Amino acid sequence: MDTRSSARRRSGFPTFRGSLVFWLILWMIFSKPCSVSSCPRLCICYPAPMTVSCQSQNFSNVPAGIPYDSQRVFLQNNRITELRAESFGFGTQVLWLYSNNITFIEPGAFSDLRDLEELDIGDNRNLRSLNPDIFRGLDKLQSLHMYRCQLGSLPGTIFQKLYSLQFLYLQDNNLHYLQDDLFADLVNLTHLFLHGNRIRVLSENVFRGLVNLDRLLLHENRIRQVSRKAFRDLGRLTILFLFNNTLSELPGPALNDLPSLQFLRLNGNPWSCGCEARPLWEWFRKVRVSSSELVCSTPEDKKGLDLRFLREIDFAPCPLPDLGLGKTTSTFSTKTRWWFPKSLNGNEQLKGIHGSKKKGSISSWDEAKPQPSSFYNKSPKIYSPKDAEESLPKIDTEEYWANYENEDATIRCFEEDCQNEGSFRNTGVRTGVPDLYKLALSLTVVMFFGRL
C-alpha cells in the first residue's frame, strides 16, 4: 500500500516538473521580447502606467508602432508638422504634442482617442486654425492645452459636448474675438486662461454656461468693453484678472454677478473716474475682495488717484445711481469714512502707503480695506486692523501671492516623474529591470525543481 502510493507519487512528479519548466520557458520567450519589440525606435517605454516617451527625437511624424494599450504618450519637442487621421493607432489617456511645428490637424485625427483625458498641443507656433469637429467625441477630456499657438479665431462649435473638460488653456494666441456660447457646454470647466490675446469685447453671452468656473484670466488683451451681463453665470468665480487691457469703465452690475470673487486685478487700465465710475466705486465699498490698484486716467483732477478710494464728495455732482445698488447708496454721508485709520486722510496718504507696494504683500492694502456692507448702516466706526483681518477672504492669501503671475504654470508631469523631464530617460531603465528580475526568478525556480 505504502510503496504503491509512493511509487505513484514518484512517477507523477517528473511530469509535473516537466510541464512547469515547459511553461516557464514559454513565458520567458513570449513575455520578454514582447515588451521590447513594441516600443518604437528612439522611444522609451515603461509600464504602470504604460508610457511611451518619444520626446526630443527630431521626429517629423508620429512614429509607428506605439502600442495600442499605451496610457501616456509623450511626443513633445519634435518636428511634427501634421496630424493625420491615421496618426494615432492607439488609445491613450495622456497625449503631449507641445513644442512641435504642427500646422495642420486633419479632421478625425483624434477621433479614435476615446479615453483621452489630457491633450497638449500648445507651443505649436504655426498652428493658425482648427477644424470645428477636431475634438468631437473626446467625452473624457479633462485638460486641453492650446497655449502659444497662433490661433486667430475658434470655430463656434469646437468645444461642444466636452462636458468633462476642467482646464482650458488658450493663452498667448492671436484670438481677437470670442463667439457667443463658445464655452456653453463646459459645465465642468474650472480654469479658463485667455490672457495674452487680442480680445476687444466681452459680450453678454460669451461666458454663458460656465457655472463651475473658478478662475478666469483675461489680462494682456485689448478689452475695452464688458457687457453688464458678461459674468452672469460665473457665480463660483474666485479669481478674475483683467489687468493690462484698455478698460476705462466696468459696469458695476457685471461684478455684482460674482458673489464668490476673492481676487481681482484691474490695474494697467486707463480708468475714467467721473460719474461713470460710480457703480464700480459703489461695488468696491460693499464687497470683500483683494484687489489691485485702479489708477484714474481721467478726469484731470482725479488723475493718479485710486478709484477705490475716491470719496462720496467726489461724486457729489453726479446724478444718483439706480443700478440695482440703490439700498446702500442713500445711507452714505461724507462723514462715514470709517475704513481708514484716523491718522489717514484720503488719497494722498493711501498713495503713500501703496506707492512702494511690492508683489507678495497685500497687507498694506488689506489694512485699509473697506469693511463688509453689514457695517454700512451703523454709526461711523473706528477702524480696527483686527476687523480687517477677520474679513479677509478664506483662501490662503500668502499662498496666492506667492504664486502671483505664475497662475498659468501647469503641471507637466505625473506622480513619480515630477523631478524633471530628463528623468524619463532614466526611468526607461525600469523596462529592463523587471525583465532581468523575471529571468533570474525563472532560472532559480527551474534549478530548484530540476534538482529535486
Ligand X SMILES: *[C@@H]1O[C@H](CO)[C@@H](O)[C@H](O)[C@H]1NC(C)=O
* Residue choice 157, 188, 410, 431 for contact with ligand X (CB under 6 A): 188
Q: Which residue is nearest to ligand X (CB)?
A: 163
Q: What's the burial of 341, exposed, middle or buried (CB within 10 Å: 0-12/13-18/19+)? A: middle
101 scored as a contact of ligand X (CB under 6 A)? yes
Which positions from 261 through 290 interact with ligand X, judged by CB under 6 A? 268
Residue 228 beta carbon to ligand X: minimum distance, rounded to whole angstroms: 26
Cis peptide leading into residue 341 (ω within 30°): no
Contacts of 399 (CB under 8 A, 6+ apart): none
Which positions from 72 through 91 interact with ligand X, judged by CB under 6 A? 79, 81
Q: Which three cell numbers stand for residue 431?
A: 523596462
Residue 390 beta carbon to ligand X: minimum distance, rounded to whole angstroms: 30
150 scored as a contact of ligand X (CB under 6 A)? no
Residue 130 beta carbon to ligand X: minimum distance, rounded to whole angstroms: 16
Q: How far is CA 95 from CA 70, 145, 265, 374, in A?
A: 10, 11, 34, 51
Residue 370 beta carbon to ligand X: minimum distance, rounded to whole angstroms: 25
User: SS3 breakdown of the chain: % helix, strand, coil, rounded to 5?
Assistant: 30, 10, 60
Select 57 or 203, whichever has its Cβ closest to ligand X: 57
Which positions from 216 through 255 interact with ligand X, judged by CB under 6 A? 220, 244
x-or-dash pattern for ligand X, window 333-372, by CB under 6 A? ----------------------------------------
Q: Which residue has the cell 502606467?
A: 49
Select 58 or 420, whichever has its Cβ closest to ligand X: 58
DSSP 8-state symbol, 321 = P
103 scored as a contact of ligand X (CB under 6 A)? yes
Q: Taking a C-beta distance cutoff of 8 angstroms, is the pair 224, 268 a contact? A: no
* Residue choice 5, 37, 58, 406 for contact with ligand X (CB under 6 A): 58
Residue 139 beta carbon to ligand X: minimum distance, rounded to whole angstroms: 8
Q: Taking a C-beta distance cutoff of 8 angstroms, is the pair 167, 142 a contact? A: yes
* Residue choice 111, 131, 150, 164 for contact with ligand X (CB under 6 A): 164
Which stretches within 38-161 are classed as H helix? Answer: none
Select 171 or 371, whichever has its Cβ closest to ligand X: 171
Residue 212 beta carbon to ligand X: minimum distance, rounded to whole angstroms: 8
* Residue choice 6, 31, 126, 426 for contact with ligand X (CB under 6 A): 126
Select 267 or 391, whichever has its Cβ closest to ligand X: 267
391 scored as a contact of ligand X (CB under 6 A)? no
42, containing H or E segment:
none
Select 169 or 283, whichever has its Cβ closest to ligand X: 169
Helix-then-strand count for the chain, H and E:
10, 18
Number of residues forming the site for ligand X (CB under 6 A): 13
429, containing H or E segment:
helix 429-451
DSSP secondary structure string for all residues of 342-399: TT--SHHHHHHHHHT--TT--HHHHHTPPPPGGGTTSS-----HHHHHHTS-SS-HHH
Q: Taking a C-beta distance cutoff of 8 angstroms, is the pair 171, 144 a contact? A: no
Select 220 or 293, whichever has its Cβ closest to ligand X: 220
Residue 57 beta carbon to ligand X: minimum distance, rounded to whole angstroms: 8
Q: How far is CA 255 from CA 35, 258, 276, 348, in A?
A: 57, 5, 15, 27
187 scored as a contact of ligand X (CB under 6 A)? yes
Select 189 or 254, whichever has its Cβ closest to ligand X: 189
Q: Taking a C-beta distance cutoff of 8 angstroms, is the pair 198, 175 a contact? A: yes
190 scored as a contact of ligand X (CB under 6 A)? no
* Residue choice 22, 23, 27, 163 for contact with ligand X (CB under 6 A): 163
49 scored as a contact of ligand X (CB under 6 A)? no
Binding site for ligand X (CB under 6 A): 58, 79, 81, 101, 103, 126, 163-164, 187-188, 220, 244, 268
